Amino acid sequence: MNTYAYARVSARDQNLDRQIAAFEEFGVERDHIFSDKKSGKDFERKGYKRLLRKLKAGDLLVIKSIDRLGRNYDRIISEWTYITNTLGADILVLDMPLLDTRAKTDTLVGRFLSDVVLQVLSFVAQNERENIKARQAEGIRIAKQKGVKFGRPARTYSEHFLSVASDFLEKRVSSREAASELGISRENFYYHVKKIKSRLS
């Protein structure tokens, strides 16, 4: 039997150290810890897929909390069932010891409690993801009302470029001459002239 662990954070600038420290304290070997820095909305994650290829019957998968596994209610339940029933591995959630399939929940009450806790925590994980998205959308809406601009900033052009482009539009120079003066290709020149034409008209 091997013990593996899975850690996840949503963004590349977030830190996995707290989860990894908890796994090492539990006794998971460092090379048995798989991780992703990606959203929990689905399970299309490289680290998670590598983990599934390793898991065998009798192995143990340790996760810090259910939302580290994912944040999609239906998929959490589906993946949990696949790991425990199809692969035959066990799962332990460190932050919720009741979710420990090694106990095999021998009684009907035990299985019921385990299933209820899993479903409640899965619901909470998805609900939190939806709340985060709602807060982000609200923040963007308020920022736009205050005049905050999103997306790439508008490109600024030098006075030299604007002068040459103006000469071209007023037919004082050809496109070849203008492009040569600016040291760019004619296609590139046409592209930028089209973008600033309204400014010069």
Domain positions in the chain are: 3-131, 159-200
Instruction: Tally the C-alpha atoms within 13 A of residue 100's C-alpha that lie toward its C-beta.
Output: 8
Output phi, psi for 55, to 5 deg.
Answer: -65, 130
pLDDT score recorded for residue 46: 94
pLDDT score recorded for residue 108: 46
pLDDT score recorded for residue 164: 85
Is residue 23 within 8 Å of residue 35, measured between CB atoms?
Answer: no
Catalytic residue set: 10
H/E run at residue 111:
helix 108-145
Is residue 30 within 8 Å of residue 24, measured between CB atoms?
Answer: yes
H/E run at residue 169:
helix 159-169
pLDDT in tens for each of the 201 residues of the chain?
A: 899 999 999 888 788 999 999 999 999 999 999 999 998 888 899 999 999 999 999 999 999 988 888 878 788 888 888 998 899 999 999 988 878 888 755 544 445 456 666 666 566 656 665 666 676 767 767 777 777 666 666 667 788 888 888 888 888 889 888 888 888 888 888 888 887 776 554
pTM of the model: 0.58
| Calpha distance 174→166 (Å, rounded) | 11
- What tokens does 188 get? 């590139």
Count of helices and strands (H, E) across the chain: 8, 4
Domain spanning 3-131: which CATH class is it, in words? alpha beta
